[in-house]
Chain A
C-alpha cells in the first residue's frame, strides 16, 4: 500500500515539476516558476504521514538546510561530510549546534538513528537506495537536490515548507527572496553587464567545468536577465571545458570557483590564446566563492551570487 502511494507521489511529482516548468518556460519572472498550492499538495499526497510540528529535523543535503531555515525551522542534524566549514556562514549562524550525520554521499544510518529525528529530508537522487532504512528511523521526505536548477530549488523549498506545515512562513521567505532578486535584476539591467555574456565555471587541477544554462548557477544568472555565451549547450549542466572550448564560448565575464590551489587556469595563463579571451582583455576574469556558487544551492546562495554580480558590474 505504501509502495502504491509512493508510486503515485512520484508520478505526481514528475508531472507537477514538468507542468511548472512548462508554465514558466517563456517567462522571465521567477515567480512564474513557483508551484501553486494545488501543485504543492499534489507533491505530498501523504502529508498526514509527516509530524504536524517536527522538532528534530535531519537535513541530508545543504539545500535542505536552506529549505528548513526558510520555513523557520532549525535542523538538528545535518549531513555535512564531517566538516562544519562546508556549511555557508548564513547556515552555520542560523543553525547553531547540530549533530553531524557524516557524508552526504555515503550516509551513516547509525548516526541518523542516534540523532533521533522526527523528520528526515533526503535527496531523491542520492538517497533513494537507503529509503527503507531511513523510513524505519523517521518519516522521510524525498525531494530533488543534486542536479537541481534555481527554479527546482525554490519548488523543493515550497514542498519542504508544506511538509513542515509552514506554508505561510515559506511563502514569505520566498517572496522576500524574490524581491531581493528583482532588485538585483533591476540593478544589473541598468549596468553594462546586461549587454554582456556571463559564464561561471569551476576550476580544479584536473580541468575546467563550465556550469551551463541548465545548471543552478546558469539558471540564477539567466533569472537575473543576464546572457549566457553558450545558450545552446543545454545537454549537460556541467560542461568539461578545454581552452579551445573556452575560446569558442568567449564570455565577456568569466567567474571562476576554485577547488584547488593549482588549477588549469594557472596553466593556461601563459598561453597567448588565453590572453585573447574577451574576459581576460577586459580584466573580467573574477574569482568567486565556490561555497555559494556551486556547493550550496539555496536562496542565500542565489542572493550572494546576485550581489557578487552587482559588485563586479559596477567595477
Chain B
C-alpha cells in the first residue's frame, strides 16, 4: 500500500490554525485572568484612545501583564526552537538546550554574584545570567571540539555538557551554602519566574527571538538533509561542521536570552519538539520548514498557559512558572524514556 507523498494541505492548515488559536487564547487569558483588579482586553481600547490618566486596571494590563506575557511567549518559543535544534544536531530525542550548560552557567554566576564581589562588577541578574550562560556554553563547545575543523560526534557534545553541568552545579551549591540570607532570592530565581518582567526587556528580547527564529528557519532545508545522517548530508554537499556550529550559536543565543530574563525554565525545549513532531507526523509531514514555526507557536502557547497556571495554582500567591513547566515536563520525560526502552 503506498502513501501519498504530498501531505493533505487542509490538515496542516487546521493544525497551525489550532496551535495559533491555543496561543492567542493563552495570551488573552494570561493578560486578564487571576487578578484582584477587574482586568479586560477593553484596556487596549482605553489605552489606544489615550487620555489624561489611564485607570489602574488598564495600566496593569499594559504596563505589567503585557510585557510579562510577551516575555513568556518569547521564552517559550526560544526554548522550543533551541530544543529542536539540539535534538537535531545531537540526533538524541532526549537532548535539550540544558546540555550546553547554559542554564547551569547562568545559575552558577547568579549564585556566585550573590556571595562575591562579582555582584558589584555585574550589578543586574540579567547581566550575570547572560555572561554565565555564554561562558558555560563556550566551555562545553570547546571541550566538545567545536573549535577544531573535524566533525564532532554528538556523544562528545553530550558528555562535555554533562561534565561542565556537574562542575557548575557543584559551584552553585557551594555558593548557595555561603549565601544563606540571599540564598532564598537565588533559589527563587533558580525556579524560573517571569513575575517581574518589564517593558525594558522587550526591545532586545523580541528582535533577538525573531532573529534566532529566522536564522533557524533559514537553516531548515539543511536540517532536513542532516536528519539523514552526517555522511549522507556531507555527500549531498552540506557543510555539516558549519551547520552544527550555526545551530549551536542559535541555541546559545536563544537559550541565554531566555534564561537571562526568566531564570532556568525546564523541559519546554524537550516536550515541545516531540509534541510538534508527533502532530506533524499525524498530518504526514516532517520537514523543518514546518517544524520550526510549529515548535515556536507551541512553545509560546505552553509558556503563556503556564503563566496563567502560575497565578491560578495558589491564587493570590504566585508559583514560579519554571516549577509548572517542570511538573508538566518531568512525567513526559519519564514516559518518553520508558517508550524508547520498549
Name A residues whose Cβ lies closer than 8 Å to a Cβ of B: 81, 103-106, 204-207, 209, 233, 235-236, 238-240, 242-245, 247-248, 259-262, 264, 267, 271-273, 276, 295
The proximity string for B residues 162-195 relative to A, scoring 1 for CB distances below 8 Å and 0 otherwise, is 0000000000000001101111111011000101
- Quote the shortest CB–CB distance from A295 to chain B (angstroms): 6
Q: At the interface, yes or no: B196 with Cβ under 8 Å from chain A?
A: yes
The proximity string for B residues 119-141 relative to A, scoring 1 for CB distances below 8 Å and 0 otherwise, is 10001110000000000000000
Interchain CB contact under 8 A, A273 and B314: no
Residue from the list A105, A233, A235 in contact with B177, Cβ < 8 A:
A105
Q: At the interface, yes or no: B44 with Cβ under 8 Å from chain A?
A: no
Interchain CB contact under 8 A, B63 and A273: yes
Interchain CB contact under 8 A, B317 and A236: yes
Residue from the list A244, A273, A295 in contact with B181, Cβ < 8 A:
A295
CA distance in complex: A35, B119 (Å): 45
The proximity string for B residues 301-322 relative to A, scoring 1 for CB distances below 8 Å and 0 otherwise, is 0000000000000101110100
CA distance in complex: A273, B58 (Å): 10
CA distance in complex: A81, B180 (Å): 9
CA distance in complex: A293, B232 (Å): 66
**Within 8 Å CB of B60, what residues of A?**
244, 247, 273
Chief secondary structure at chain A's binding surface? loop
Interchain CB contact under 8 A, A273 and B56: yes
Interchain CB contact under 8 A, A242 and B182: no
Max chain A CB contacts within 10 Å: which of B60, B63, B186, B196?
B196
Known: A206-B125, A273-B56. A103 touches B195 (CB 8 A): no
Q: At the interface, yes or no: B59 with Cβ under 8 Å from chain A?
A: yes
CA distance in complex: A245, B316 (Å): 8
- Quote the shortest CB–CB distance from B158 to chain A (angstroms): 31
What 5 A-B pairs have minimum CB-CB distances, sorted nearest first? Answer: A248-B36, A206-B185, A242-B195, A204-B185, A106-B177
Name B residues whose Cβ lies closer than 8 Å to a Cβ of A: 35-37, 54, 56, 59-60, 63-65, 119, 123-125, 177-178, 180-186, 188-189, 193, 195-196, 198, 200, 314, 316-318, 320
Interchain CB contact under 8 A, A205 and B178: no
**Within 8 Å CB of A245, what residues of B?**
316, 318
**Within 8 Å CB of A106, what residues of B?**
177-178
Interchain CB contact under 8 A, B182 and A204: yes
**Within 8 Å CB of A236, what residues of B?**
317
- Closest chain B residue, CB of each to CB of A232: B316
**Within 8 Å CB of A273, what residues of B?**
56, 59-60, 63-64
Interchain CB contact under 8 A, A235 and B59: no
- Closest chain B residue, CB of each to CB of A203: B185
Residue from the list A238, A260, A272 in contact with B184, Cβ < 8 A:
A238
CA distance in complex: A246, B54 (Å): 19
Interchain Cβ contacts within 8 Å, total number: 90
Residue from the list B63, B124, B185, B316 in contact with A207, Cβ < 8 A:
B185
Interchain CB contact under 8 A, A209 and B184: yes
Known: A245-B318, A267-B198. A103 touches B180 (CB 8 A): yes
Interchain CB contact under 8 A, B316 and A240: no
**Within 8 Å CB of A81, what residues of B?**
178, 180
**Within 8 Å CB of B317, what residues of A?**
233, 235-236, 239-240
Known: A233-B316, A262-B123. A207 touches B177 (CB 8 A): no
**Within 8 Å CB of A259, what residues of B?**
181-182, 185
CA distance in complex: A260, B195 (Å): 19
Interchain CB contact under 8 A, B56 and A247: yes
Known: A205-B125, A267-B198. A240 touches B318 (CB 8 A): yes
CA distance in complex: A245, B35 (Å): 8
Extra contacts besides A206-B188, A240-B317, A242-B318 (14): CB < 8 Å: A81-B180, A105-B177, A204-B182, A207-B196, A209-B185, A240-B195, A240-B320, A243-B64, A244-B65, A245-B316, A248-B35, A259-B181, A272-B63, A295-B181
Q: Could you give 17 example pairs across A and B, Cβ below 8 Å?
A: A103-B180, A204-B182, A204-B185, A205-B124, A206-B188, A239-B317, A240-B195, A242-B196, A244-B60, A244-B65, A245-B316, A247-B60, A248-B36, A248-B37, A259-B182, A272-B54, A273-B63
CA distance in complex: A240, B188 (Å): 9
Residue from the list B37, B63, B125, B178 in contact with A271, Cβ < 8 A:
B63
**Within 8 Å CB of A206, what residues of B?**
125, 185-186, 188-189, 196
**Within 8 Å CB of B54, what residues of A?**
272
- Quote the shortest CB–CB distance from B151 to chain A (angstroms): 42
- Quote the shortest CB–CB distance from A272 to chain B (angstroms): 6
**Within 8 Å CB of A205, what residues of B?**
123-125, 185
- Closest chain A residue, CB of each to CB of B190: A206
- Closest chain A residue, CB of each to CB of B119: A260
Residue from the list B35, B178, B314 in contact with A235, Cβ < 8 A:
B314
- Quote the shortest CB–CB distance from B140 to chain A (angstroms): 26
